[in-house]
């Protein structure tokens, strides 16, 4: 056997590894908005050639997380208020629709029981991250929670689009949560949503979720005033 220690080499292609690594670096703001990056630089960082990096960049280009200036270089996309609001709008539309489609099965079918436990786990994880001040962990738990909400709608395409929208929203959220100020409110809204959902009040649930998802709109202006260099327009 070529690999007696089971030190399994990453069997994902280098392109995928590059994609995930670069994307994560952008979303976590380790690669800050507006920063110039170069294919060679990324390739060296990731110990690979330019080829897989280029393929990863190609995907990040579609997601508008990177911009390429031909023959001049690339840069991490600046945050655009317009783009953020567009993404937020799309997310609200889809997540509300998913909630409406799923609410029937929330009680009746198999989803209900299994989901409710996991929802509690997600909430617990979020509370814990809030206590320890782990912003990144908080956002992960938040994503977990919202994914569970959508799960019952059984629409992977929808979930993946929402995830794509989240990419643009998360950079704002990461910045706005630096002081972990409003996290308590967010968690409370999650809990409220769950209780209304188990009570079966569709309209109230939709209203709560809509309100919850619009909260970001206030943050944008604040964040922009704190980090003007991260913004475009």
Residue among 4, 6, 70, 228 that touches DNA (CB under 7 A): 70
d(CA 196, CA 190): 10
Tell me the closest approach of the beta carbon of residue 12 to its own copies, in angstroms: 11
Q: From residue 8 to residue 27, what is the string marking binding to DNA with x (rule CB under 7 A)?
A: -----xxx------------
Q: Which stretch binds DNA (CB under 7 A): 69-77, 97-105, 133-141, 225-233?
A: 69-77
d(CA 123, CA 187): 7
Tell me the closest approach of the beta carbon of residue 164 to DNA, in angstroms: 22
Q: Give the CA count within 13 Å in the CB-facing half-sphere of 45.
A: 14
DSSP string, 186-197: HHHHHHHHHHHH
Residue among 17, 97, 174, 192 that touches its own copies (CB under 8 A): 97
4 lines the binding site for DNA (CB under 7 A): no
- Number of Cβ within 10 Å of residue 10's Cβ equals 8
d(CA 169, CA 214): 11
- Number of Cβ within 10 Å of residue 22's Cβ equals 23
C-beta of 122 vs 159, nearer to its own copies: 159
Q: Which stretch binds its own copies (CB under 8 A): 50-58, 132-140, 182-190, 210-218?
A: 50-58
Tell me the closest approach of the beta carbon of residue 152 to DNA, in angstroms: 34
């Amino acid at each position: 056997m070529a690999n007696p220690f089971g030190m399994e080499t990453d069997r994902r292609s280098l392109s995928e590894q590059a994609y995930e690594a670069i994307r994560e670096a952008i979303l976590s703001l380790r690669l800050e908005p507006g920063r110039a990056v170069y294919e060679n630089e990324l390739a060296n960082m990731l110990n690979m050639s330019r080829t897989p990096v280029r393929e990863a960049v190609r995907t990040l280009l579609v997601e508008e997380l990177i911009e390429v200036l031909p023959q001049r270089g690339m840069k991490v996309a600046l945050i655009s208020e317009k783009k953020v609001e567009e993404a937020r709008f799309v997310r609200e539309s889809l997540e509300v629709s998913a909630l409406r489609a799923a609410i029937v099965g929330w009680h009746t079918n198999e989803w209900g029981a299994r989901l409710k436990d996991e929802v509690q786990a997600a909430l617990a994880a979020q509370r814990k991250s809030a206590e320890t001040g782990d912003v990144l962990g908080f956002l992960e738990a938040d994503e977990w929670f919202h994914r569970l909400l959508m799960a019952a709608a059984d629409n992977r395409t929808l979930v993946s689009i929402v995830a794509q929208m989240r990419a643009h929203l998360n950079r704002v959220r990461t910045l706005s949560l630096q002081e972990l100020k409003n996290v308590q409110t967010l968690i409370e809204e999650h809990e409220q949503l769950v209780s209304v959902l188990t009570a079966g009040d569709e309209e109230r649930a939709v209203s709560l979720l809509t309100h919850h998802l619009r909260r970001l709109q206030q943050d944008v202006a604040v964040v922009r005033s704190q980090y003007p260099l991260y913004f475009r327009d």
